[in-house]
Amino acid sequence: MKKWILAAAITAALSACANAPANVALPQGVSLIENVALAESGVGIPYKKYQLANGLTVILHQDHSDPLVHVDVTYHVGSARELPGRSGFAHLFEHMMFQGSEHVGDEQHFKTVTEAGGTLNGTTNTDRTNYFETVPSNQLEKMLWLESDRMGYFLPALTDNKFEVQRETVKNERAQRIDNQPYGRMNERFNQAFYPSGHQYSWPVIGWPEDLNRAQLDDVKHFFQRWYGPNNATLTIGGDFDEMQTLAWVNKYFGEIPRGPEVKPEAKTLVTLDKTRYISMEDRVHLPLLRMAFPTVYASHEDEAALDLLANIIGGGPTSLVYKNLVKDGYAVQAGVSHPCQELACQFSIYALANPARGGQLADVERRIRESIAEFEQRGVTDDDLQKVKVQFEANTIFGLQSVKGKVSTLALNQTFFGNPDMIAHDLKRYANVTKEDVMRVFNTYIKGKPSVVMSVVPQGQQQLIAHEDNFVAPAPRVAAEAVTGMVDVAKAGSSFDRSVMPSAQQAPVITAPSLWTDKLANGIEVMGTESDETPTVELLIYLNGGHRLTDVKQAGLAGLTAAMLNESSDKRSTEELAQALEMLGSSVSFGSSIYQSYIKVSALTSHLDETLAIVEEKLFHPGFKESDFARVQQQHLQSLQHMQSDPNYVADSQFDALLYGKDTALGVSEMGTPASVSQLTLDDVKAFYNKQFRAGNAQIVAVTNLSKAQLMPKLKGLAQWQGEATPLPSLAAMPALDAGTVYILDKPGAAQSVIKIGKRAMPYDATGEFFKSYLMNYPLGGAFNSRINLNLREDKGYTYGARSYFSGGSELGLFEASASVRSDVTAKALTEFAKEINAYQAEGMTDKELAFLRSSISQGQALDYETPYQKAGFMRKIQRYKLAADYTQQQADIIKAVDKDELNQLAKEKLNLDKMIVLIVGDRAKIEQEIKALGYQVKNLQL
């Protein structure tokens, strides 16, 4: 694709130029609306916009850098098109659209895309619903066939059974993402108070449970007929394709779909509040949370950019006033300000997680937030404030365009909401033109002295912590007489060809791994890189072997705490000064840790790499390790640990590891540590671990950049001064004997779902041996969406939002795990179905069709493996860490072609013996224990 060139200054003119349409014969009924290229100094996305006779907008963006295409169909319908008392239709319908259509069989959409080596999904928000696939470029026609069939021929395949199963799936999704999560119900409660009764944003996208129960099959049919016409959709295609052939396919598959009812834009009426509304709720949480928001404008409003800058100044990170007054002073564990915008409304949103160690009183938190707002009024706006926010916006724009999916999503969103696919140049100019006066004006207009909604979320039984007595109660919901209005008769779609014939794939693209180079710094640190000229950016990752595994188990959490301290001050500059320096560059530098590694992630515009690396070296070689920083970071870490105990998934993960690996090993204790281990750590412990971990001998570097090896290596010379030999890992303690066949229950009273984990220890990672072949073996069982386990528990039974199984391996050990979050009332039934699927697969193995499916899916999917800088970096890191051959992916491809069913089925017999596995369930014991015992399992209860 065209190489990106960043303008020298953000104030430079960045407008795209509309070229005259090329004199090319287009398919009948296809009109070229716009042909946009880029000036040499421009930043944006070149595209061509077409329209079919039925009103479908088609946007094409060619990018030949990788042999893949991304297809997105966005419908201008979300929950804002619903009516009071009829919520959840848009999201429920998104689920229904994956259940087959007139010419596509049940469950075939996922199977077809996955077998083609692709990925797919759909998402719904307040204002739009989109469906998308990323596939190897030879599969494009097949994707157009799939998308067109559900746009034009969905209703004949809609049945009561499909509707009921997907309604249950949505209920499970709600239970998993909202009802069973800390603060999960906060947003829907908040929006009831923030928006007027009956406002389109006053109900949740996923819907109220009673509204989902109220829905009828005919309501879903009418929703489709009302909103899913081609004239309310944008089809966007990006990637490696032939333009005229693609237009011909688009016209063939979509051109005969009749136009739907006309869709008018929703009115954009500014939200107002008569007074400050206080609301509160109790939840199963540890940290009290205060959320405050002021109504402002709507997306693309002339004041949006200035409000975004205002939010960043007041609460956008370590240099902000809210951070200084709440987090730095220890009154909050986290706090921030943002200005999220939707099509019809925006919120100036503030949140703070109170620190219980400082009392946790939300009235104190609110007071400090309001004092921060008042401090801004006195302080005003500085030149640095404006510059850093503008640079950040510019950099984020560039980083957001590192993938075809990112560019396609941007084009689709902008076309849907603004009628202009590429708003990048416009937005850069819009933010560049914001002045100090603009920021103060919007502050006075929308924030100063204005009413807001203030919500307190407190631990159960601790109402004394709320900020203020409630003074608002949401009115009783109304229920619209009809679920869908504006219906008109639309002709049934016909077809001039046999749509039941799935298009065959074109010739498979040649898949090549990134071209890699290797070198060493003067101190012996290995550097591996690849050149990518798609964006003028650098993604540099410094990995250090060790991480959590390098610590004594009694000091669990030390690796993460040390990394957190390295994100703080140096001995030359404060945390705030370093953050300010990075913000002014549009760069990020982040220290972190995982089980086997500590790491430094560096993202920078190429033009600012030298300055960014100077900050990396300052943080790495001259850490401040100040007592004040340590006290705050340690307290934040401890409170976060307590908070994580409210998350059933975190609890299940940590408890399952403890059962498999034992609490005497680093593998059996969370890398975050425990409250007991972290509370005993000292600053001296951090310094000692820093000296042991952050040595040149432990380090390796990977880089993805538009710079050549010859250009990059001299810029890394500062890291060549790094010294120190490699640090060996301590011996791994003996593994505990597994009490196989036992079901362990960890009680979470009132839990809406049960988290089920089934598994055992397994082999470490290898790229071409038993581990890799076991990955292949498991694919039909639980590795793909249309695997046996997921089809059974999700699609057939409606027990869960998703179920899977997998092998995971590190350098020493691995595991096999099958897992799902299921409705509490079907916990025992779900466990029975898991056992049935695993036992049958172990005994009988996969079928010939399943073998063919896994071969096709995994081998063709390699076309998607190297697109983004982080995908390339991950590929290189795997080669480094496991000392793999540079062509290991080709070796894997050869194995996929050659391995036979008998060998994989023999692995299933050896690796999937359920009698050697344990089961952990995190859920409401009072509701589930007796039914599990009735299945014949030995049950043991665990305590946190």
Exposure string of 542-555, with b = 16+ CB inside 10 Å and e = fewer, is bbbbbbbbbbebeb
| Tens-place pLDDT, residues 324-357 | 999 998 999 999 999 999 999 999 999 999 999 9
Concatenating the DSSP letter of every residue in 615-650 gives HHHHHHHSB---HHHHHHHHHHHHHHHHHHTT-HHH
* Cα distance between residue 685 and residue 562, in whole Å: 9
Residue 672's nearest CA partner among 807, 563, 760 is: 563
Query: What pLDDT, in 10s, does the model give residues 66-110?
Result: 899 999 999 999 999 999 999 998 999 899 899 899 999 988 999
**Which CATH architecture describes the domain 277-407+414-465?**
2-Layer Sandwich (3.30)
CA distances from 326 to 366, 367, 478, 643 (A): 10, 10, 40, 18
By CB atoms closer than 10 A (0-12, 13-18, 19+), residue 383 is: exposed
Nearest to 245 by CA among 510, 62, 410: 62
Could you say which residues of the chain have pLDDT below 70? 1-24, 39-41
Rounded-to-integer distance, Cα 768 and Cα 776, Å: 11
Name the residue ranges covered by the structural domains of the chain: 27-33+43-254, 277-407+414-465, 516-721, 742-942
Single-letter amino acid, residue 710: A
Q: What is the spatial distance between Cα 2 and Cα 9, in angstroms, rounded to a whole number?
A: 20
Q: CA dist 685 to 552, 617, 621, Å? A: 11, 22, 18
The residue with tokens 């409304």 is: 345
What are the strands of the beta sheet with 800-809, ordered from one edge? 800-809, 814-823, 753-762, 918-923, 742-747, 938-942
Quickly tell me which residue has 């800058």 as its tokens. 309
* Long-range residue pairs from 782-789, CB within 8 A, at least 24 positions apart, any chain: 782/806, 782/818, 782/837, 784/110, 784/114, 784/853, 784/854, 784/857, 785/110, 785/114, 786/107, 786/110, 786/111, 786/114, 788/837, 788/841, 789/818, 789/820, 789/834, 789/837, 789/838
At 13 the pLDDT is 29
CA distance 633 to 625: 11
> CA-to-CA distance for 612 and 539, rounded, in angstroms?
11
State the architecture of 742-942 in CATH terms: 2-Layer Sandwich (3.30)
- What pLDDT does 107 receive? 84
C-alpha–C-alpha distance, residues 50 and 431, integer Å = 29
Q: Which CATH number fits domain 516-721: 3.40.50.11310, 3.30.830.10, 3.30.2180.10, 1.10.645.10?
A: 3.30.830.10
Among 409, 421, 428, which Cα is nearest to 18's? Answer: 421
Structure tokens, 591: 């220290």
Tell me the β-bridge partners of 921.
Answer: 745, 756
- Provide the 3-class DSSP secondary structure of residue 306: helix
Interior/surface letters 322-345, b for 16+ CB within 10 angstroms, e for the rest: bbbbbbbeebbbbbbbbbebbbbb
Contact status, residue 303 vs residue 435, Cβ threshold 8 Å:
no
Instruction: Give percent helix, percent strand, percent coil of the chain, each to the nearest 5.
Output: 45, 20, 35
In the sheet with 68-75, reading across from the earlier edge strand, the strands are 17-18, 30-37, 47-52, 57-62, 233-239, 68-75, 129-136, 119-124
Please give the CATH number for the structural domain made up of 27-33+43-254. 3.30.830.10
Q: Which residue in 349, 82, 293 sits closest to 203, CA to CA?
A: 82
Phi, psi of 819 (to 5 degrees): -150, 160
Instruction: Count the Cβ atoms, other than its own, within 10 Å of residue 732.
Output: 14
DSSP for 8-54 reads SSTTS----EEPPPP--PPPTTEEEEEEEE--TT--S--EEEEEETT
Please identify which residue in the block is written with the tokens 């990170």: 317
Contact 454, 58 (CB under 8 A): no
CA distances from 768 to 118, 236, 551, 864, 908 (A): 22, 38, 30, 20, 17
pLDDT at 313 (0 to 100): 93
The answer to whether 140 touches 241, Cβ cutoff 8 Å, is yes
Q: What is the dihedral of CA 584, 374, 299, 406, to 10 degrees?
A: 30
Whole-angstrom Cα distance, residue 672 to residue 666?
A: 11
* pLDDT score, position 40: 61
Same fold, 27-33+43-254 and 742-942: yes
Compute CA 231 distance to the chain's CA centroid, rounded to the nearest angstrom.
30
DSSP 214-239: H--HHHHHHHHHHH-SGGGEEEEEEE
What does the pLDDT read at residue 817? 98
